[in-house]
Amino acid sequence: MKSSVIIFPGSNCDRDMDVALKKFGFENQMVWHNDAEIPKSDLIVLPGGFSYGDYLRCGSIAGKSRIIKSVIDFANSGGLVLGICNGFQILTETGLLPGILQQNKYLNFICKNVFVKIKNKENKYFKKIKKEVLELHIAHNEGNYFCSKNELKSIEDNGQIAVTYCDHKGNDDDKNNPNGALKNIAGIFNKDKNILGMMPHPERMIDPFLSGEDGSLFFENLIESL
Partner 1 sequence: MVDVNEKIAIEHGLKSDEYKKICDLLKRTPNITELGIFSAMWNEHCSYKSSRRHLKKLHTKGEQVIQGPGENAGIVDIEDDDAIVFKIESHNHPSFIEPYQGAATGVGGIMRDVFTMGARPIANLNSIHFGSPDHEKTRNLLRGVVKGIGGYGNCIGVPTIAGQTCFDESYNGNILVNAMTLGLVNKNKIFYSKAAGINKPVIYVGSKTGRDGIHGASMASAIFDDKIEEKKPTVQVGDPFTEKLLLEACLELMAGKSIISIQDMGAAGLTSSSIEMASKGDLGIEIDLTKVPCREENMTPYEIMLSESQERMLIVLEEGKENEAKKIFDKWNLDFAVIGKTTNSKNIELFFKNKKVAEIPIDFLAENAPMYDRKWIKAKLPKENKFSKDRFKSLKLSDCLMKVLIDPNIADKEWIWDQYDHTVMGDTIQKPGGNAGVVRVHGTNKAVAASVDSSATYCYAHPLTGGKQVVCESWRNMISVGAKPIAITNCLNFGNPEKEKNMGEFVECVEGIAEASKYLNYPVVSGNVSFYNETKDKGIKPTPSIGGIGLLSNYNKMMTMEFKDEGNYLFVIGKTEGHLDQSIFARNILTEFNGPPPEVNLFNEKQNGNSILNLKNKNLIETCHDVSLGGILTAISKMGIKSGKGIKLFPLEGLVNKFEYFFGEDQGRYIIEIKPENLENVENMLKKESIHFDKLGLVEGDKITYENDLKLSIDDIKEGYKKWLKEYMVN
Shortest separation between residue 8's beta carbon and partner 1, angstroms: 11
Cα-based distances in Å from 198 to 5, 38, 54, 162, 171: 16, 22, 17, 8, 19
Side chain identity at 20, as an amino acid letter?
A
Shortest separation between residue 59's beta carbon and partner 1, angstroms: 14
Residues near partner 1, by CB under 8 A? 9-10, 12-13, 15-16, 19-20, 34, 48-50, 52-55, 108-112, 137, 139, 141, 201, 203-204, 206, 209-211
| CA–CA separation, 203 and 210 (whole Å) | 10
Shortest separation between residue 207's beta carbon and partner 1, angstroms: 9
Shortest separation between residue 87's beta carbon and partner 1, angstroms: 14
Question: Which of 37, 34, 29, 23 shows the shortest CA–CA distance to 222?
Answer: 23
Beta bridge partners of 110: 140
The answer to whether residue 203 is catalytic is yes
Q: Classify the C-alpha dihedral 89-94-97-98 as positive or negative.
A: positive
| CA–CA separation, 21 and 5 (whole Å) | 9
The answer to whether residue 140 is catalytic is no
| CA–CA separation, 46 and 150 (whole Å) | 27
Beta bridge partners of 225: none
Q: Among 58, 85, 147, 166, which one carries the catalytic annotation?
A: 85
Nearer to partner 1, 39 or 53 (CB): 53
Shortest separation between residue 212's beta carbon and partner 1, angstroms: 10
Nearer to partner 1, 15 or 183 (CB): 15
Residues marked active site are found at: 85, 201, 203
